[in-house]
């Protein structure tokens, strides 16, 4: 080829960082031709986004990790302690546990006005400011005197789920059996396990025999179904917002990627990072992927389009488009705010959520067997719903990828209908959002349809099951609608709670 060399203009165009002086074109060309260390055709790209991650690691090493969640104490929240063990759906147990909770409003004398508010994956019990903690809560404008969740009428209880990191027992807690942090010796938990822990607070601490309502959004929408199923006679009304009756493979796929990204951060160290450098990069990336599922393409089209943050600069592999800087910011905000192990366990619990009769029956049987073994009763392996776990030889992922589902979609729908039948006599409000890609609107339609079928099979007319779907015009905020479009969610909710 003709080995043409850079003109100074071209060289300067690309090499501002390394070329301090500006010799004239002919001089530069001559210099380049005689140089023993030829210059590359183009400059090295820069990666400020990676340098920032390194700086954070350095700073955490020097100043020590101080995760925000570690600061949650009884100064800020109330704590319910259960000294009896809890046996879990998937064969594990907690010898004791605590649940962080907050309340708003006043429990009436016959204890009939309580609403248990259940949270999404990353939320604390701090749904609204309290005397102990005046910071705004995640549903600050939804809860309060005269608000949609009217504390002049209702006594609202919100907990941090077990498995979480905001005061409830989770992977960052100490295992009382050996005095060490649980880390990934924490047992796999289910949404059902979360609600059975809440139930002890409701029954043992507050002595409430029947809740006016259980309600929640996202994973909270899963919990309220699980609670009403497990404690059918102790719940009057159920409000499931942007929830589902079982996860679907797209959501599992997205959460799978988040978990894998976190677990492959070398700092995750198979879950044993407490007191050392936390996997902040993995957490940041996991949150970025999650954020994609929390909002929607139409919102981003409207806010960001496909514009670059600074179109006058050369494109970069680090965040460059407006949408990238948005995701980057979402990851930054979260990477030290939430315990990575809690994220893994609770994300997994969402995947495992399944209101099908077969899943509920299996879980109940598994817990009973675990408890029997705990109490020294002999349960032969052959009778265990779950075969004894041989963790050392867990299956390799199927290499040939030929395995497919065993139950047909029709059988699975019937199974789900039978599981939901226990709820079909309740007052249920199901809210879905058309722009939601994580818990898509068809899942709420399916839930409402199956509940109505169940109601009719019990001789009812199905009018106890209400279903509201927010159109794209009502909200294009996707899954996060319940945090953003309060009026569209709140109207149907307060109406349902009162009538």
Residues tagged active-site: 218, 436, 479
CB of residue 418 vs a second copy: minimum separation in angstroms? Answer: 16
**8 A C-beta contact, residue 274 and residue 183:** yes
- Residue 42 as a binder of a second copy (CB under 8 A): the answer is yes
Query: Nearer to a second copy by C-beta: 16 or 136?
Result: 16
State both tokens at 334.
């979260």
**8 A C-beta contact, residue 250 and residue 292:** no
Query: Nearer to a second copy by C-beta: 207 or 402?
Result: 402
- Residue 386 as a binder of a second copy (CB under 8 A): the answer is yes
| Per-residue x/- track, 124-163, a second copy (CB under 8 A) | ----------------------------------------
CB of residue 257 vs a second copy: minimum separation in angstroms? Answer: 5
Sheet strand arrangement including 155-159: 78-82, 97-104, 155-159, 114-118, 211-217, 235-241, 427-433, 465-470
Count of CB atoms situated within 10 Å of the CB of 265: 20
The separation between CA 374 and the C-alpha centre of its own chain, rounded to angstroms, equals 31
Range 60-79, binding a second copy (CB under 8 A):
none
Nearest-angstrom CA–CA distance, 97 and 90: 17
- Residue 376 as a binder of a second copy (CB under 8 A): the answer is yes
Nearest-angstrom CA–CA distance, 461 and 438: 31
Q: Kindly determine how many residues on this chain lie close enough to bind a second copy according to the rule CB under 8 A.
A: 145
CB of residue 445 vs a second copy: minimum separation in angstroms? Answer: 15
- Residue 344 as a binder of a second copy (CB under 8 A): the answer is yes
Q: What is the CA radius of gyration of the chain?
A: 27
- Residue 41 as a binder of a second copy (CB under 8 A): the answer is yes
- Residue 213 as a binder of a second copy (CB under 8 A): the answer is no
Query: Nearer to a second copy by C-beta: 3 or 499?
Result: 3
Range 412-441, binding a second copy (CB under 8 A):
412, 440
Range 239-258, binding a second copy (CB under 8 A):
246-250, 252-254, 256-257
Range 89-128, binding a second copy (CB under 8 A):
90-96
User: Which helix (H) or strand (E) is 213 found in, with range?
Assistant: strand 211-217
**8 A C-beta contact, residue 242 and residue 479:** yes
- Residue 319 as a binder of a second copy (CB under 8 A): the answer is yes
Nearest-angstrom CA–CA distance, 379 and 383: 7
């Amino acid at each position: 080829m003709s080995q043409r060399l850079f003109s100074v203009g071209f060289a300067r165009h690309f090499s501002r960082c390394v070329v301090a002086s500006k010799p004239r074109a002919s001089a530069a060309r001559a210099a380049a031709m005689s140089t023993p260390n030829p210059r590359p055709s183009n400059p090295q790209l820069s990666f400020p986004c990676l340098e920032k991650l390194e700086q954070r690691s350095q700073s955490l090493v020097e100043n020590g990790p101080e995760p925000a969640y570690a600061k949650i104490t009884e100064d800020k929240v109330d704590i319910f302690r259960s000294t009896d063990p809890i046996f879990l759906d998937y064969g594990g147990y907690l010898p004791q546990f605590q649940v962080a909770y907050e309340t708003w409003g006043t429990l009436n004398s016959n204890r009939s006005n309580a609403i248990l508010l259940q949270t999404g994956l990353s939320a604390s019990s701090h749904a609204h400011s309290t005397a102990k903690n005046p910071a705004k809560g995640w549903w600050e404008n939804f809860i309060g005197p005269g608000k949609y969740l009217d504390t002049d009428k209702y006594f609202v209880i919100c907990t941090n789920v077990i498995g979480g990191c905001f005061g409830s027992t989770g992977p960052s807690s100490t295992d009382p059996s050996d005095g060490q942090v649980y880390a990934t010796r924490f047992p796999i938990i289910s949404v059902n396990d979360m609600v059975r822990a809440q139930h002890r607070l409701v029954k043992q601490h507050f002595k409430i025999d029947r809740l006016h309502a259980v309600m929640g959004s996202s994973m909270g929408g899963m919990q309220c179904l699980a609670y009403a199923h497990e404690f059918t006679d102790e719940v009057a009304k159920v409000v499931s917002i942007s929830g589902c009756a079982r996860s679907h493979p797209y959501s599992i796929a997205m959460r799978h990627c988040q978990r894998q990204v976190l677990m492959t951060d070398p700092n995750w160290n198979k879950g044993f990072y407490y007191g050392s450098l936390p996997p902040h990069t993995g957490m940041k990336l996991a949150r970025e992927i999650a954020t994609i599922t929390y909002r929607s393409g139409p919102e981003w089209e409207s806010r960001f389009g496909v514009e670059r943050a600074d179109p006058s600069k050369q494109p970069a592999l680090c965040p460059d488009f407006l949408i990238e800087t948005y995701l980057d910011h979402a990851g930054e905000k979260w990477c030290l705010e939430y315990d990575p192990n809690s994220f893994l366990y609770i994300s997994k619990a969402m995947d495992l959520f399944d209101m099908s009769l077969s899943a509920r029956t299996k879980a109940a049987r598994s817990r009973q067997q675990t408890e029997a073994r705990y109490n020294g009763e002999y349960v032969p392996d052959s009778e265990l719903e779950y075969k004894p776990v041989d963790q050392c030889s867990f299956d390799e992922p199927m290499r040939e990828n030929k395995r497919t589902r065993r139950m047909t979609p029709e059988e699975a729908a019937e199974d789900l209908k039978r599981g939901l039948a226990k709820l079909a006599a309740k007052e249920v409000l199901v809210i879905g959002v058309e722009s939601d890609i994580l818990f898509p609107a068809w899942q709420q339609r399916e839930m409402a349809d199956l509940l109505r079928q169940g109601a009719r099979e019990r001789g009812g007319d199905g009018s106890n099951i209400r279903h509201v779907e927010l159109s794209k015009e009502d909200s294009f905020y996707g899954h996060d609608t319940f945090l953003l479009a309060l009026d569209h969610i709140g109207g149907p909710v307060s109406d349902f709670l009162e009538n």
